[in-house]
């Protein structure tokens, strides 16, 4: 079988994302670890997921919680050992699940030996492994504005940092601790491929590739349009979906994936990707990626020129956007279906209604609507129980580097602290990074010690323990949704078709295969809505996926129902 030309596990599959630091702590140091994940394999199997995507556990100074790697083949002692990863692969595989590793190769940590060598001198053999430039013409190193281009990094600083020793600047699209690798250099690419083969040989089931559409830069680099807010430039024209991206991914395919198991999955995280680019990148048999994480639906409630500033969300636009992606990738390409991950706030607080009255129903309905679309389902830890945003009360409460840097920069520019706190409370990644809520006991059953980050106070009533045996819980519903994905043919590869509704709070769509139809109808609002008459000929309601429907003609707040051909 040629990779990419057949139906494989992920068409109907569900991937569960573990953010190891906050998942389960087995040794009482307050930080989640591999031992903790091993303890939860049974739970993941019970939930019914097909694979676990593990956020980085490699050796790292942890400046960006592991997305700054200093050794790609070692495990950070915070999380455990390499033999525990082997154990995890075996334990998952025994239950029919795969382990997907996070591959962060747009950049390394400044503490990676490659960077140490590269920065040592201008003549270093590895100088060209990173992107070094002299100060801007007519300026001296260290002068204001001497950076080679005017770009702002993703983390609210200039994208260039001066290395005093050699008087040159290095590029970092994220923090100064995360220098960008120079993918133009074939030796860099070969090292990356070698590392990937090494992990595949250990038995991992694929990779989630961090910001993979940033690896190819457009040269020569130049200044981008300046934002009023930061006074710095937007360099995306030079680093998004660069001219050699496709070539690099094809090379990766032939060096790493060709001839291997067709079930090995390549998931690309691709900020700002367009539908057309996504079609091309995830084209079946296209030797690039199997699917992409697009960002449009998670950008609808953010200011255009400031990702950390919330703007009001029109809920119907979210569904509209997802439906557009369904149409866009209908004949070519493949979607990743996600509401949240470790970089996003909590689903129910953001897209649903986390008030006591609507919390459970909105969490369930959001799961039904998204995960019954066409694509691979991604469930982020805690989302299966409807975890909510953290009630932050001060700027000192934030831990994440992007929040800390955003607040520093905003305060420097004179914005009032309350305003910055309001932004971050809504948009901060820390919302998703509080410890997993296993029980209502001290530390939410996450750790026997003091958790590295405070537990969300909702743990008193919101936990796995409180929901596991309740057939009406968010967790039980999520299990039903996951099971339905592989039970019904139409949900694997069946076509998606939107059913236009007269009321923008209502959404309805069909998934259709040759001999089956699945119809989803939902009210994405906190008010009851009159239901238009839909021809239900030959369809029967699927009781276990029905949420809060009160009558045949009115859908209650956040009610949803799924109908399937007999
Ligand atoms: C990705 C990761 C995010 C990280 C960034 C830099 O977007 O998901 O957590 O900060 O890349 O590696």
Indicate the DSSP class of residue 175: -
Residue 386: name the closest of 361, 407, 369 by CA.
361
Exposure pattern of 128-148 as b/e (b: 16+ CB <10 Å)? ebbbbeebbeeeebeeeebbb
Residue given tokens 């590869």 in the structure block: 493
Same domain, 254 and 346: yes
In a domain, 531, yes or no: yes
pTM of the model: 0.98
Beta-bridged to residue 554, according to DSSP, are: 530
Task: Compute the C-alpha angle 9/15/16, nearest 5°.
Answer: 155
Q: Answer yes or no: do 452 and 539 share one domain.
A: no
Is there a single domain that holds both residue 93 and residue 216?
Answer: yes
Which among 326, 319, 433 has a CA at the least distance from the CA of 381? 433
CATH number of residue 375's parent domain? 3.20.20.80
Please indicate whether residue 230 or residue 495 has the higher confidence score (pLDDT).
495
Element (H, E) at 563: strand 560-565
**Average pLDDT value for residue range 447-451:** 98
Nearest residue CA, atom 6 of ligand 1? 67
CA of 67 to the centre of ligand 1 (A): 6
Residue 175 lies in a domain: no
Q: Cα–Cα distance between 336 and 202 in angstroms, integer?
A: 25
Residue 5 pLDDT > 60, yes or no? no
Q: How confident is the model at residue 426 (pLDDT cuts 50, 70, 90)?
A: very high
Using most ligand atoms within 8 A of CB, pick from 173, 174, 240 the residue to mutate for ligand 1: 174
> What integer is the mean pLDDT of 180-189?
98
255 and 369 belong to one structural domain? yes
Atom of ligand 1 nearest to the CA of 106: 12
For strands 302-303 and 560-565, give the pairing: unpaired
Between the two ends of the chain, the Cα-to-Cα distance in Å is: 33
Distance CA 115, CA 91 (A): 35
Following DSSP, what letter does each residue of 140-166 receive, concatenated? Answer: -TTSTT-SSS-BBPTTSSBSEEEETTT
Q: How many domains does the chain have?
A: 2
Report CA(70)–ligand 1 centroid distance (Å): 15
C-alpha pair distances (Å), 349 with each of 58, 293, 346, 425, 431: 31, 21, 6, 11, 10
Nearest partner of 366 among 381, 389, 347, 343, judged by Cα: 347
Tell me the C-alpha to C-alpha distance, in Å, between residue 256 and each of 195, 216, 232, 338.
9, 18, 38, 27
Task: Compute the mean pLDDT over every residue in the chain, rounded to the nearest whole number.
Answer: 96
Measured CA to CA, the distance from residue 241 to residue 272 in angstroms comes to 9
pLDDT at position 484 is 98
Distance (Å, whole) CA 72 – CA 467: 38
CA distance 491 to 12: 7
Given the residues 68, 147, 180, 210, the one annotated as active site: 210
Question: What percent of the chain clears pLDDT 90, i.e. is strictly above it?
Answer: 94
34-80 pLDDT, tens digit each: 999 999 999 999 999 999 999 999 999 999 999 999 999 999 999 99
Q: How many residues does the chain have?
A: 566
Q: Looking at ligand 1, which atom is closest to the CA of residue 271?
A: 7
Quick check: is 89 in a domain? yes
Active site residue 269: yes
Q: What is the 3-state secondary structure (H, E, C) of 37-75?
A: HHHCHHHHHHHCCCEEEECCCEECCCCCCCCCCCEEEEE
Mean pLDDT of 276-281: 98
Nearest to 407, CA basis, from 389, 383, 377, 427:
427
Nearest CA to ligand 1 atom 9: 343
Distance 93 CA to ligand 1 centre (A): 27
Which residues on adjacent β-strands are paired with residue 539?
A: 565
- Over residues 94-108, the mean pLDDT reads 98
Residue 305 confidence (pLDDT): 85
Q: How far is the CA of 210 from the centre of ligand 1 (A)?
A: 6
Residues 206, 329 share a domain? yes
Mean pLDDT score, 174-188: 98
Do 22 and 435 form a contact (C-beta atoms < 8 A)?
yes
| CA 157 – ligand 1 centroid, Å | 16
Is 113 part of any domain? no
Tell me which residue of 511, 480, 488, 500 sits closest to 373, measured CA to CA.
511
Q: Find the 209 Cα to ligand 1 centroid distance in Å.
A: 10
pLDDT exceeds 80 at position 3: no
Report how far ligand 1's centroid is from the alpha carbon of 494 (Å): 32
Residues 560 and 447 both lie in one domain:
no
Averaged over 229-246, what is the pLDDT?
96
Rounded CA-CA distance 259/278 in Å is: 24
Q: Which residues pair with 371 in a beta bridge?
A: none
* Residue 186: Cβ-neighbour burial (10 angstroms; 0-12, 13-18, 19+): exposed
Same domain, 454 and 523: no
Q: Which residues, 6 or more positions from 372, have their beta carbon under 8 angstroms from its beta carbon? A: 481, 484, 485, 491, 511, 518, 520, 562
Q: How far apart, in whole angstroms, are the C-alpha atoms of residue 287 and residue 10? A: 17
DSSP 387-404: -------SGGG--SHHHH
Kindly report the protein residue whose alpha carbon is nearest to atom 5 of ligand 1.
67
Written as six digits, the tokens of 182 are: 């120079």
DSSP letter for 107, please: B
497 and 382 part of one domain: no
Pair (214, 65) in one structural domain: yes
* pLDDT at position 6: 67
Domain of 385 in residue numbering reads as: 9-108+186-394+436-474
* Residue 364 falls inside a structural domain: yes
Looking at residue 551, what is its pLDDT? 87
Mean pLDDT across 310-337: 96
Atom of ligand 1 nearest to the CA of 64: 10
The stretch 21-29 carries a mean pLDDT of 98
How far is residue 457 CA from its own chain's centroid?
A: 24
Q: Which of 20, 208, 211 has most ligand 1 atoms within 8 Å of CB, for mutation?
A: 211
| Residues 461 and 323 reside in one and the same domain | yes
Nearest CA to ligand 1 atom 12: 67
* pLDDT on residue 1: 39
Closest ligand 1 atom to Cα of 104: 12
CB-based contact 403:431 (threshold 8 Å)? no
Q: Tell me, yes or no, whether 469 and 498 share the same domain.
A: no
CA distances for 197 relative to 101, 334, 558, angstroms: 12, 24, 46
The residue nearest atom 4 of ligand 1, judged by CA position, is 67
297 occurs within a structural domain: yes
| Percentages (nearest 5) of helix, strand, coil residues in the chain | 35, 20, 50
**Ligand 1 residue neighbourhood (C-beta within 6 Å):** 64, 67, 104, 174, 210-211, 269, 342-343
User: Residue of the nearest CA to atom 2 in ligand 1?
Assistant: 210
Catalytic-role residue among 269, 290, 343, 430: 269
- Whether 210 is a known active-site residue: answer yes
Same-domain status, 316 and 453:
yes
3-state secondary structure 181-237: ECCCCHHHHHHHHHHHHHHHHCCCCEEEECCHHHCCCCCCCCCCCECCCCCCECCHH
342-394 residue pLDDT tens: 999 999 999 999 999 999 999 999 999 999 999 999 999 999 999 999 999 99
pLDDT in the model for residue 4:
46
CA distance 215 to 184: 9
Phi, psi for residue 171 in degrees, rounded to 5: -90, 135
Report yes or no on 136 lying in a domain.
no
- The first and second tokens of residue 338, run together, are 């996600």
Q: CATH no. for residue 521?
A: 2.60.40.1180
Asked whether residue 151 is assigned to any structural domain, the reply reads no
């Amino acid at each position: 079988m040629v990779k990419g030309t057949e139906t494989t596990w992920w068409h109907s599959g569900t991937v569960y994302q573990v953010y190891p630091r906050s998942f389960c702590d087995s040794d009482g140091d307050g930080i989640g670890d591999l031992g903790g994940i091993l303890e939860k394999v049974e739970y993941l199997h019970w939930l019914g997921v097909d694979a676990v995507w593990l956020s980085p556990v490699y050796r790292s100074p942890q400046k960006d919680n592991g997305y700054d790697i200093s050794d790609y083949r070692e495990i950070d002692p915070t999380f455990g050992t390499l033999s525990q990863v082997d154990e995890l692969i075996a334990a998952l595989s025994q239950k029919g699940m795969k382990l997907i590793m996070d591959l962060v190769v747009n950049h390394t940590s400044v503490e990676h030996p490659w960077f140490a060598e590269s920065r040592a001198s201008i003549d270093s053999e590895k100088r060209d492994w990173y992107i070094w430039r002299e100060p801007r013409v007519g300026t001296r190193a260290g002068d204001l504005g001497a950076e080679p281009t005017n770009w702002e990094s993703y983390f609210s600083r200039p994208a260039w940092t001066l290395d005093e020793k050699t008087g040159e600047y290095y590029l970092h699209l994220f923090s100064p601790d995360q220098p960008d690798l120079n993918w133009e250099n074939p030796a860099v690419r070969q090292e990356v491929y070698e590392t990937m083969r090494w992990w595949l040989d250990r038995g991992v089931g694929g990779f989630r590739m961090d910001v993979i559409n940033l690896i190819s830069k457009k040269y020569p680099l130049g200044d981008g349009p300046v934002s009023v807010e930061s006074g710095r430039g937007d360099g995306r024209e030079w680093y998004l979906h660069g001219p050699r991206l496709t070539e690099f991914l094809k090379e990766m395919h032939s060096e790493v994936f060709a001839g291997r198991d067709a079930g090995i999955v390549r998931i690309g995280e691709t900020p700002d990707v367009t539908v057309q680019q996504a079609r091309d990148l995830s084209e079946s048999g296209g030797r690039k990626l199997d699917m992409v994480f697009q960002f449009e639906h998670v950008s609808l409630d953010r200011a255009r020129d400031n990702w950390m500033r919330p703007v009001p969300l029109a809920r119907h636009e979210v569904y509209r956007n997802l439906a557009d992606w369904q149409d866009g990738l209908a004949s070519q390409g493949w979607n990743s279906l996600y509401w949240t991950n470790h970089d996003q706030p909590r689903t129910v607080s953001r897209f649903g209604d986390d008030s006591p009255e609507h919390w459970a129903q909105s969490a369930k309905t959001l799961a039904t609507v998204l995960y019954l679309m066409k694509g691979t389902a991604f469930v982020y830890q805690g989302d299966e129980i409807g975890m909510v945003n953290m009630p932050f009360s001060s700027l000192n409460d934030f831990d994440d580097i992007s929040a800390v840097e955003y607040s520093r920069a905003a305060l420097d520019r004179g914005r009032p602290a309350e305003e910055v706190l309001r932004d971050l409370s809504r948009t901060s990644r820390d919302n998703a990074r509080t410890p997993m809520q296993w029980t209502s006991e001290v530390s939410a059953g996450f750790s026997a010690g003091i958790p590295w980050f405070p537990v969300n106070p909702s743990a008193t009533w919101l936990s796995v323990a409180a929901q596991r045996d309740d057939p009406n819980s968010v967790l039980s519903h999520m299990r039903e949704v996951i099971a339905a994905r592989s039970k019904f043919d139409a949900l694997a590869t069946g076509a998606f078709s939107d059913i236009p509704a007269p009321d923008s709070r209502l959404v309805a769509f069909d998934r259709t295969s040759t001999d089956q139809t699945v119809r989803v109808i939902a009210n994405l609002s906190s008010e009851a809505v009159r239901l238009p008459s839909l021809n239900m000929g030959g369809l029967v309601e699927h009781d276990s996926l029905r949420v809060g429907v009160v009558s045949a003609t009115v859908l209650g707040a956040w009610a949803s129902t799924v109908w399937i051909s007999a």
